[in-house]
Structure 1
Amino acid sequence: MMKTSKLLTFLVLLGFGFSAFAQDELQITSKDSIVQSSWIVGVGLNAVDDSGNVFDGIFNVGQEWNIVPYPSRVSIGRYFKNGLGVEAIGSYNKYMKGNIIDGEIILEDIPYYAFDGRVTYDINKIIGQTGWFDPYIGVGVGYTDANNEGRGTYNAVVGFRTWFSDRWGLDFNSTGKWAMTTSNEVTNHIQHAAGVVYQFGIEKGLSKRGEEKLALMAAIEKEKQRQRDSINEVNRLKEEALLAAQLKKQKEEDALAAAEKKRLDELNRKKQAIKSRIEQLGNVYFDLNSSFVNNDSKKVLDAMAEIFEEIPTLKLKVTSHTDSRGTSTYNDWLSERRVTRTKEYLLSKGVAPERIMTEAFGEQRLLNECDDNTYCPAEKHAVNRRSEFEVLEF
């Protein structure tokens, strides 16, 4: 359930992110950043409504508002990441002859001076960043000389700034000023202001939208990493399975190779044993110019027949030879006779004909130096008059 819940949460976040940022590349841009702290200086106009009743005739601009036609207000303030700001303001104005001031129509122009300090709070910290619109509220204290009466004041302000860039904007606000003392019958009044503001010493951070985008990017990257990890894990398991299969195959091949080697070694051992046994019997030898099997040779062939009977799978090749005396043609014929007589004797002992192959070489394979050009005694020539046996199968 927890895994399902997390998956649904991610999909909802992913869907929201893509709908919110459908028109933008999914990356942090300058649009996702806001000014979090800065200094702000401002220059502008101010208008004072000092009719004697703060809310009476508040929009009666013609008779109750006092404005000079030139810049009459300067301010400087420091604004912090937590939304608080501290600001100092100086303003000048003039009560115009014929306006209602402190409930009475004045008969001459009267100068107005104010020096105020206030603490403000950025409402965007509560409602969320609204981009170009930056509302605020605040409280403060000040000193005002108005209608030729100086007084300390408690101030409350509401206003907003609208920004054209990170540095330049406009500021509009209204401040209610309540006198700290009621001596000399001084009254409360409202001061409105509008002006150009400039930011410097800026420290920027992500907006709420930027933080959401960053969180979405982190979630997407985490999911991509999970997918990469999953793919890597699958590939690792595949590689391990492949390696295990290769090792198993190699092990099987090694076992087969070892078994085959053992089999061949056994065959070679058996073949060598048979070969040694046949070699111990010796060759079949013939008299000069004869192909008849003599008594000594019969003993060899009788023993050979017993080996055939003992090993039913045995097949031999019989080769017959002559010495070098006589012509080559004669010797070829004589060796044919000898190999035939050798085979016939074995057949007479019950050996199947298909178990005996034959070949005659005449004088081609002498076992010593006794060729046509070399003199040899009879006993040396006798070595070459023979039938030999070669194991073919067993």
Structure 2
Amino acid sequence: MKTTKIFSFLFLFMFSSVTFAQDELQITAKDSIVQSSWIFGVGLNAVDDSGNVFDGIFNVGQEWNIVPFPSRVSIGRYFKSGLGIEAIGTYNQYKEGNVIDAEVITENISYFGFDGRVTYDINKIIGETGWFDPYVGIGAGYTDANNKGRGTYNAVVGFRTWFSDRWGLDFNSTGKWAMSQDQGATNHIQHAAGVVYQFGIEKGLSKRGEEKLELLAAIEKEKQRQTDSINEVNRIKDEALLAERLKKQQEEDALAAAEKAKIDAINKRKTEIKSRIENLGNVYFGLNSSVVNSSSKKVLDSLAQVLEEIPTLTLKITSHTDSRGTSKYNDWLSQRRVDKTKDYLLSKGVSADMLTTEAYGETMLLNECDDDTYCPEEKHAVNRRSEFVIMEF
């Protein structure tokens, strides 16, 4: 007994551990990363073109040139492979009194740069860091600096830091080597910092997310194995119950078929009775008259015969007038007509319990012949009628 309790405890502990681990391994937004996107950036740039940048690399006051407004714009496309292609435009101004090409300049000089580059995301090598995104790159461009235009070969190192999937900061430094120094054009360094915005984003799982996904798949596979085992145990029991259920279903189907046949027979009988009464037609009256004429009596005689044959049948007699005359008069006249119709049926031996009545006056015309529409007599005659509505079969 003691051994059994120990094994039960171990089983419950292992099951709880697996359940807890699976809850911990849910894929969340933190497990996804941006794999490809467009990035647009706006920021500042600083140029060190002193002629000997490594001696005075931190001599910001005399060797760095910066304008106090956004002076750099970039647009780039970055791919899942880690490669990126970027186009950059920059403007700057060499300040009077700064050292440019190893000389102190005596006036402000504009600086323009147009560059293209290919970069590589170092996170593809060191692993995703989430918020820190270092990169290196090479490229080429055209720069007009110190009134000397030149093509340049470029090398860049930098990093981006992200506050969200869309917004971040970009910091980088680019070395620019002149393709030709015929006019005394020299090499220089350009630093940049700015805000970047990502759009056209395609996301995927990080390495951590992929590891979670693999582990979740393994757990799910084990759960499926256990489920299959339980299902196999239950299969024999289910097969035994299946025959019993099938027999019961066949019995229920037979009862349902019999019930349907019964309902179909009743509906067929109802349809026949309804058709028989509708085929008799309506009772019609003369103008301003409630007299049951000879042709109407034939209809009522046939109707009385139907009611005699089917004692369970109950009818509602409705009577109507045409639109001529006042509404109050027509209400009175239709009541007279419905009473006369009922009285005739009662005189033929029809039980009063089988009949109800309702007078509608001129409110239920069968055509357009209202108070505002002229109609010939034959159209008005259609509205002077008693009708029969089946209430119960």
Question: For residues 99 and 176 of structure 1, what CA distance do their matches in structure 2 show?
Answer: 19
Specify the SS of the correspondent of 2:183.
helix
- Please name the residue that 2:204 is paired with: 205
Residues 102 and 187, structure 1, Cα contact 8 Å, conserved in 2: yes
Shift of residue 107 of structure 1? 1.3
- Please name the residue that 1:34 is paired with: 33
Specify the SS of the correspondent of 2:136.
strand
Residues 151 and 180, structure 1, Cα contact 8 Å, conserved in 2: yes
- Please name the residue that 1:144 is paired with: 143
Shift of residue 236 of structure 1? 5.1
Question: For residues 23 and 208 of structure 2, what CA distance do their matches in structure 1 show?
Answer: 12
AA aligned to 1:110 is: I
Residues 22 and 219, structure 2, Cα contact 8 Å, conserved in 1: no
Question: For residues 128 and 43 of structure 1, what CA distance do their matches in structure 2 show?
Answer: 27
Question: For residues 103 and 192 of structure 1, what CA distance do their matches in structure 2 show?
Answer: 19
Matched, 1:168 2:167: yes
AA aligned to 1:74 is: V
Question: For residues 24 and 227 of structure 1, what CA distance do their matches in structure 2 show?
Answer: 18
Closer/same/farther in 2, CA of residues 24 and 87 from structure 1, 3 Å limit: farther
- Identical positions, percent: 84
Specify the SS of the correspondent of 1:184.
coil
Q: Which has the larger radius of gyration?
A: 1
- Please name the residue that 2:181 is paired with: 182
1:85-117 Cα deviation digits (max 9, x unpaired): 100000000011111111111111111000000
Residues 66 and 95, structure 1, Cα contact 8 Å, conserved in 2: yes
1:157-180 Cα deviation digits (max 9, x unpaired): 011111111111110000000000
Question: For residues 129 and 223 of structure 1, what CA distance do their matches in structure 2 show?
Answer: 30
- Please name the residue that 2:313 is paired with: none
Shift of residue 54 of structure 1? 3.6
Taking the TM superposition and a 5 Å limit, the aligned residue runs for 1:195-344 are: 195-235=194-234
What root-mean-square deviation, in Å, do the aligned CA atoms of Structure 1 and Structure 2 show? 2.5
**TM-score, with normalisation over the residues of structure 2?**
0.54
AA aligned to 2:182 is: S
Taking the TM superposition and a 5 Å limit, the aligned residue runs for 1:8-157 are: 25-157=24-156
Shift of residue 182 of structure 1? 1.6
Closer/same/farther in 2, CA of residues 22 and 98 from structure 1, 3 Å limit: farther
Residues 45 and 72, structure 1, Cα contact 8 Å, conserved in 2: yes
Residues 160 and 168, structure 2, Cα contact 8 Å, conserved in 1: yes
**TM-score, with normalisation over the residues of structure 1?**
0.54
Residues 39 and 201, structure 1, Cα contact 8 Å, conserved in 2: yes
Deviation beyond 6 Å, 4+ runs, structure 1: 21-24, 237-240
Shift of residue 207 of structure 1? 1.1
Question: For residues 84 and 98 of structure 1, what CA distance do their matches in structure 2 show?
Answer: 41
Question: For residues 212 and 26 of structure 2, what CA distance do their matches in structure 1 show?
Answer: 8
Shift of residue 224 of structure 1? 1.1
Q: What number of residue pairs does the alignment pair up?
A: 225
1:169-210 Cα deviation digits (max 9, x unpaired): 110000000000121221110000000011111111111111
- Please name the residue that 1:304 is paired with: none
Question: For residues 72 and 169 of structure 1, what CA distance do their matches in structure 2 show?
Answer: 18
1:51-103 Cα deviation digits (max 9, x unpaired): 11242211111111100010000000011111111000000000111111111
Closer/same/farther in 2, CA of residues 115 and 130 from structure 1, 3 Å limit: same
Question: For residues 229 and 175 of structure 1, what CA distance do their matches in structure 2 show?
Answer: 61
Specify the SS of the correspondent of 1:36.
strand
Residues 53 and 187, structure 1, Cα contact 8 Å, conserved in 2: no
Question: For residues 156 and 54 of structure 1, what CA distance do their matches in structure 2 show?
Answer: 15
Question: For residues 22 and 57 of structure 1, what CA distance do their matches in structure 2 show?
Answer: 56
1:33-52 Cα deviation digits (max 9, x unpaired): 11111111100000001111
AA aligned to 2:191 is: H
Question: For residues 97 and 23 of structure 2, what CA distance do their matches in structure 1 show?
Answer: 58
Specify the SS of the correspondent of 1:218.
helix
Q: Unaligned regions of 5+ residues in structure 2, if any?
A: 1-13, 242-393
Question: For residues 168 and 183 of structure 2, what CA distance do their matches in structure 1 show?
Answer: 40
Question: For residues 156 and 53 of structure 2, what CA distance do their matches in structure 1 show?
Answer: 14
AA aligned to 2:158 is: G
Question: For residues 128 and 236 of structure 1, what CA distance do their matches in structure 2 show?
Answer: 49
Question: For residues 23 and 156 of structure 2, what CA distance do their matches in structure 1 show?
Answer: 38
Residues 136 and 160, structure 1, Cα contact 8 Å, conserved in 2: yes
Question: For residues 234 and 74 of structure 2, what CA distance do their matches in structure 1 show?
Answer: 66
Question: For residues 23 and 59 of structure 2, what CA distance do their matches in structure 1 show?
Answer: 48
Question: For residues 144 and 181 of structure 1, what CA distance do their matches in structure 2 show?
Answer: 12
Q: Unaligned regions of 5+ residues in structure 1, if any?
A: 1-13, 244-394
AA aligned to 2:130 is: G
Closer/same/farther in 2, CA of residues 23 and 62 from structure 1, 3 Å limit: farther
Question: For residues 187 and 141 of structure 1, what CA distance do their matches in structure 2 show?
Answer: 15
Specify the SS of the correspondent of 2:153.
strand
AA aligned to 1:168 is: W
Shift of residue 22 of structure 1? 7.2
Specify the SS of the correspondent of 2:30.
helix
Greater shift, 90-99 or 22-31, is seen at 22-31
Question: For residues 239 and 148 of structure 1, what CA distance do their matches in structure 2 show?
Answer: 91
Specify the SS of the correspondent of 2:37.
strand
